[in-house]
């Protein structure tokens, strides 16, 4: 099991970090009081067969003093649970500006009535033991949200794992556009196997249909152009922090050309290093 402690200054980007970790398969638990750490470790160990990657957030909402921090770390050490610490930091002036822009209040400003400057100073003092033991420290002062996400994914993505879930879905226009689609590709301009008697009742899952569709020169050229578009666009979606992308490929009925192209594009995305999920929305509909 991978057990990660996420901590750091309020306003430094822990929420975004947790979202990024969840997107790559971490089971995340936020705002853990120090006293619950032993139970949490036991829970994680009991579910080790299902929970292979666990991240817990420790911050001043549950750690009110340095003693609380040391108690939480001692609980982990006593359980002999291997763990790593990720500490999110930022410069004081950046934190003050972020609180001003979001109009949110620091936890110590709420509980103890401290000014934002005094609250940040107190928080730094309490969390210092965690920062000293952190394996990873990310200073988010000059990072955008997308850059911060990219840094986190760069640290914790498994080898060969993609930071973006890609679904390639075939569909029939006559049954309506998929409302969840991010990108819609139209292949109704290609030769239609529906009008070939021996192919009409087959689908793009059958090689006879694939051969018929792909033997046309225009099919080869359109596929090449769609592949080029995806090869260029997918890294841009990743750079902008998109965690899920749905590419819908449509023909008239969703049984022949769209399925053929969805499969071809899925194989192409695999060659690019992604792990797409290929679905066929209308394959089981009757004519």
- One domain, residues 189 and 221: yes
- One domain, residues 50 and 149: yes
Q: Which of 137, 156, 175 is the last residue of a domain?
A: 156
- Let me know if residue 246 belongs to a domain: yes
- One domain, residues 66 and 43: yes
pLDDT one-digit tens code per residue, 112-125? 899 999 999 999 99
Average pLDDT for 55-73: 88
- One domain, residues 124 and 210: no
Domain that holds residue 101: 2-156
- One domain, residues 152 and 49: yes
- One domain, residues 142 and 254: no
Handedness of CA 244, 247, 253, 257 (dihedral sign): negative
Q: Is the pLDDT of residue 76 over 90?
A: no
Q: What is the pLDDT of residue 119?
A: 94
Are the CB atoms for 205 and 256 separated by under 8 Å? Answer: no
Q: Which residues contact 272 (CB under 8 A, 6 or more apart)?
A: 230, 231, 234
Q: Is the pLDDT of residue 162 over 80?
A: no
Q: Is the pLDDT of residue 287 over 80?
A: no
- One domain, residues 145 and 19: yes
Q: What is the pLDDT of residue 161?
A: 64
Give 36 or 197, the one with higher predicted confidence. 197
Q: What is the pLDDT of residue 164?
A: 79
Q: Is the pLDDT of residue 158 over 80?
A: no
- Let me know if residue 287 belongs to a domain: no
- One domain, residues 99 and 27: yes
- Let me know if residue 134 belongs to a domain: yes
194: nearest Cα among 204, 185, 186: 204
- Let me know if residue 80 belongs to a domain: yes
Q: Which of 72-86, 138-152, 175-189 has the highest mean pLDDT?
A: 175-189
Average pLDDT for 269-285: 91
Q: Is the pLDDT of residue 179 over 90?
A: no
- Report the percent of the chain where pLDDT is more than 70: 97
Number of domains in the chain: 2
pLDDT one-digit tens code per residue, 28-52? 998 888 788 888 888 877 876 678 8
- One domain, residues 140 and 188: no
Enumerate long-range contacts of 215-221, CB under 8 Å, 24 or more apart: 216/190, 216/191, 218/189, 218/190, 218/191, 219/190, 219/191
- One domain, residues 146 and 170: no
Q: What is the pLDDT of residue 189?
A: 97
- One domain, residues 211 and 242: yes
- One domain, residues 28 and 51: yes
Q: Is the pLDDT of residue 3 over 80?
A: yes
Give 169 or 103, the one with higher predicted confidence. 169
């Amino acid at each position: 099991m991978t057990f990660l402690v996420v901590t750091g200054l309020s306003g430094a980007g822990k929420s975004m970090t947790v979202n990024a970790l969840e997107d790559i398969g971490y089971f995340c638990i936020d705002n853990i009081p120090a006293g619950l750490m032993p139970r949490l470790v036991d829970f994680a160990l009991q579910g080790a067969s299902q929970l292979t990657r666990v991240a817990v957030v420790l911050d001043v909402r549950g750690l009110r003093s340095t003693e609380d921090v040391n108690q939480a770390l001692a609980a982990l050490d006593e359980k002999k649970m291997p763990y790593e610490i990720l500490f999110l930091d930022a410069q004081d002036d950046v934190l003050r500006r972020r609180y001003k822009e979001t109009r949110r209040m620091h936890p110590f400003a709420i509980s103890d009535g401290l000014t934002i400057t005094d609250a940040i100073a107190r928080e730094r003092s309490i969390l210092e033991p965690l920062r000293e033991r952190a394996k990873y420290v990310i200073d988010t002062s000059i990072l955008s949200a997308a850059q911060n996400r990219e840094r986190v994914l760069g640290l914790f993505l498994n080898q060969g794992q993609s930071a973006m879930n890609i679904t390639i879905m075939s569909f029939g226009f006559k049954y309506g556009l998929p409302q969840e689609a991010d990108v819609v590709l139209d292949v109704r301009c290609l030769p239609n196997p529906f009008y070939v008697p021996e192919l009409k009742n087959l689908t793009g899952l059958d090689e006879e249909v694939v051969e018929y569709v792909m033997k046309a020169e225009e099919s080869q050229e359109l596929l090449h152009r769609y592949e080029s578009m995806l090869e260029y666009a997918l890294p841009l979606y990743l750079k902008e922090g998109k965690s899920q992308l749905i590419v819908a490929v449509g023909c008239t009925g969703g049984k022949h050309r769209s399925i053929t192209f969805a499969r071809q594009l899925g194989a192409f995305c695999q060659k690019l290093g992604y792990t797409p999920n290929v679905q066929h929305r209308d394959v089981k509909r009757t004519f």
